[in-house]
Structure 1
């Protein structure tokens, strides 16, 4: 623990009178001082003498010097005498600063003193506002205690011997270097002024001091200490403490200031009554004590004599002035009030609603609203005055925002409203009211609707109370219309609103109602009463529905109130027709009877009703009495069913439905949203288990309704989901030329085997989905084929194409029955992407302007298509037709030209031949291109007109023809024709 310098006046006396012999009371020792101790006392005495001569402490200051010895291994509990100063705070001197430490855990004087005792570096404990500050005054040339008015500031100075502080000189050096007194690892050092109380000079916030700080230089005594003294076993440490009386300054910050916006700047000046000592000056500090929460003003010159305030907002401000001097201190305060700018009053605006108003008697009261009047501050008074109006006993006046008017008489009124605001300004406006006299409208007579009665009922009441008038009807009068003057009837209440008629006979009666109001105005209305002749029919008895009872309930009511008759039922009679004995009927002669004493069994009661003409009717009702109560049945379907085509049958099981007495009926109802296709087998829709067949793709919903003997029912719901056949595109249909009834199982097996041979697969690879009639004389077989190797289903188009090709190659007779058609079940023709495939006939239905390529169908693969465009076909046909026509025309023209070409007429003569055969020479008498001239012809000559009959004229045997065609050298024999050139032959032809 570090050595400290406590204050001890007793030691000073001992040091002066007994050669610095002192009592080490803390250590419990009573020994004579050594030479070193005498030297220390001498130094203390010399220092005290010097200080007194310099007059440093002239205000009754007490100078206390205490030698402190550093002893190794001393007890940390050794604290000497304790001196407590209440209402004071420590102050450092000569510009040095105190090493301090703030302890939060010490909240009382005792704890703070004990904490200082346990630390070598502490010789002053300061408790401020319950917070303990541990101070080290070593090395201070001047340590002062300043008086303050704060009772919560307590300074404790300890007379403390350094028992156990082994490194006193080094510790002092560490303090001088600004290190922490705390030896805890990781602790850093810093410097801070000693805390001070707020009411004294050099104020600082004790709350902000949370750590150990030191910054101090070596004192004169420390500087005078030589290096040779550091290793000494006992070292001298001292503090200079003094209690100083501060001089109070009379300070003023001037009078309180009031400013009004828009001025927001104020200048405050500090005044001190005492002048500052020569060569010194006062320190000024301005503090804002009271201000608005959202204060945003600016302060300039906080540490000068003049404080300038700007950007002030409306509110109240308190500023504190602190003036400090050499051992002088003073405070003052001033208030600054910032007010709003004076308001410029605006005239109020009087507003009345409604400004114009009209009413009619009998309404004699109304309201006029003036509360909507406005002002920039506040309206304090409303004044209503009747400016104009009819003569009355009292004029209207009021001072409320809303004017209530009563007892108004017809006429024109004008009311004035004057409003006055808080500044005395006023404004007025007027409202107009017109009160009209009451308007009396004529009454409206209403005799009611026409009435129809049937004999024997001959009386009725007519009501005219539906007649209306704005002021009320004062009289009613009923009379028989002149249109019914020949009718006789008894009437009552002809001058009341209701007319009672009696003793009426068959026929039409017209009555007239006349009403009159208070002004004598009248109105008339007519009503017709039709009396129909009597047409009596027998009554219709209705004993109500059959009933079922369960013991212990042994009674019930029988209600015949729904029995009807065209006239009137005059009597009821309930009788027991069958059932166990002992039942009693109460009120058997009324419409509602009560039956008691019922037992288990079935009862039948008969109701007999009669009308006034003694016509009667009967109706039975049954009452069944059971032993126990019945519970409603519970319908339950096992589960929903999912099937996949080609399986088109399903079963729904509702046999798990239950009832306490047994289910008497089951009913399966197909939901309206279900597909219509599908058949119910064996009327199973009325059984517990439903069997379905011929189902199609979709979701079927069925409701099972079960009913017990008491008619109680319950419904459950289930679905049958039919999924599409995953192999529907691979199904192939074969239409056979045989009736389905004639196809046997053996023939079916042979047919499958033959198809397998054609397809090159095994019999087991062909799956028959179904066999059904196609027409009366044909059968449809639907199959799919598996690939023998991969066991995958072959495509339907491939199977159909293979079979078609096989049958087209004259192998259709290979089957035991002739195949009429082979195709896929689902039409898969793409129709050249210009049409759609008809699933029924498996042919394409082409889109508009497209047609089938019949050449491909007839001469090609026979597949239906839509390859040809109608437009192109028409154009091509037209071109072909035109081309053919042109060719035919050209051919005809050529033929005709050849036939009509001019010919040279040839002359023929018989030549004498040298042989037995005659020679015939035909020569033309003219050259080609010359005109024909008449010439002499012989019988052997032929003209152009006779060309076609040449064969008839010249007929020779074949033998001779050959001779004629044979070439001759030089001449032609008789009967032969000389050969002609090809050109000449063409001319002849």
Structure 2
């Protein structure tokens, strides 16, 4: 039960002390009572059939039970409303009346006010309701009825009770959520029967876990329980006096209520079932640790007391357990009596502490909370002190401006604002106000001025002071001295010029004299031009300077004026001297340079001074007052020199440097080359490292020389033969030998030798050389890749298997590409002559434009022709140079494989040529002779006549006999188609017109004889005779 309920009970039935709080009967209270009364009247006059079972008989507001003599007094667990309390009473067979005190419901068996032993209370939330039963013992009520607790929350609390209620709001809400879970039926079934043990203590009643009832709208109306009520932790009170019974008597008169829970699915008429066995009794203790405690440092001790209601039974005690729930992060306090009724706290630091006390007894338990607030110790602020400088000053016209310094005002914390105000002065258009530390005045008129300076610190404390200023009028006759306006400078600037040339006189000023004002006596300053109109000041230090100017006219009249120079301080830091690193010299070097130019200062160094503080005599220091000094005349031994630097404020710093002079001990240099170098062509560059050569004084020169037996090819790059590392390029196959000679400063030398071995290219014989018809400067990387892919297609390999070793210019219009080809795994190199032969053959088969560039020549990089073993191959022309008496086979060269060779022997060629020429000559001679012989024989004229009828016979005779074994018979008759063998002058033949018409003259001259066959000449009779 929360603090509000307890307060109301204390003011009503259960408290015998005078009333602690008087609740105001507000409009909301009236709403509560009106609602309860209306509901009770409605329940008694309603038309619901269930009201015939259990109806309201009478309602008595402002009454309550006297628990001492109340018969069969029972307490319903949880927060109750009118609806739930009447439902519980109707479901209890022996209940005839119930008492509702706020949200606490108690049942009894009495039927009248006299039987129930009721008494008048002062609580407007307390009323007794009597019911009357019919034959049935249970009734149903509408579940839609508004919760009484919701109306109760409208009540406006008094401040004290409201605070207590607020502190217990957290646990109350937490219990409400737990009750809600039970209300939803998450822990008990619809047909379960729940027994709740309830105990009333001396001061209040504790409701345990809420009774779970089914939430259905069947014929049995269960009692809807609210979440359990939690008491306020800070509630205190006294036990009630007569006529109200004591808490112990109330506790003894309470029994356990077991509401009958009917199944939501049952259709039978509800019946009343009494509780068979009560649950274990748990007593709730009301524990209070008092109101929150608030202390202020330096007080850091607090005592907390725990109050428990009811008191423990005789012979028994409660156990106490104090726990610190929250505390400041820097908590370091001490607790004494953690397990007693009184807790003493000490050494508390500023912050909020929350304590929890747990009280336990026999079947009793209670908790209480209390807050302890420790406020920090208040700081005692000291007001600021306003200071003006000068507090009084006097100026004369025509000087119309000046300054007043208020920046010297002080405060224990910080001054946050300055405010200047003109309190008194001549009548002007506008009074002077400013919010700066230094007040600057201008356009002043003659008169007396009073200015007020008000300073305010960070805590808002203020302090004021005044400054007086007199501005005098100009005198007509005497001169008017004017030292100028007051000046303000800030260090490190320590010089200024005061101008007195504004001093005037009607006849002119004849003399000026500057002096230090008596108020500034004892201050150091250098003044130049004290008898001139302008005063030059230097060497000013922090503080206020007042200078007086005295002027005189020709009549001897004088006038004085003062000017104040305010020199404000600056955060100057001393210089830092740096004499440089220590040095070590070896004779005959007896001089060196000391460099102190790295010394620094925030405002600049004004002077340097080098001094010898240790070492042999006789040393000379040149430019000892400069940042860089030169030492000479050094002798063997250690020296120490000190550099002293000063800034413009005469702050100084020192630094020392050591110079050690040793006797000369020269050691010859040691030449050392890192090692021999081995490279493999086509890589033709190498380097020899001589940097490991050493000397105690340092090597001054290197000289590389090539051995006479080394190959002459190869170039030295960038004149590296005179440096520690030798770079070589364009090396050829062979072994190079180089000598390194090193020389130190004393002329001592040493030498070392190393070799560079250039091994031949392992794929030299497999390199293929192609001459392309393109200028090398026009060949791009993209074109190169495309060309290699085309070569790969011709060779049947991947372009990645073609390794290009060199691309260089061959002629002005051609490019030489050198490469070799790898076969498929294990990636062995293909023979160069095979690759060249395949490319030549493939290009003969392909079109001329297959390659993006025309190949002028394809051959191996090295000439590999065997020259028929009768000569050697020229590596440049790639042609055979034959041995003596051997020559090239021209037929093979021109019409064969076109490979250069030395197949023919010169002797054999000469002999064969001679034989051929002789045979050819003989053949020609024989031919000529035969031709001449034929022309020399006599010829006879023979006339031939073609005989009729002989053509067919002649034709038949000329036909060969196709039968094998049959000899060809030739006719003995001569025909016109046969040439005559007689020597006649005319070869004309006589043909008949019949033959011409038949076309027989178109037949071949040789007839139908096959080539190679001869005519069988048939001799005529005349020929036979001849």
**Same fold by TM-score, threshold 0.5 exceeded?**
no
TM-score, normalised via structure 2 length:
0.29
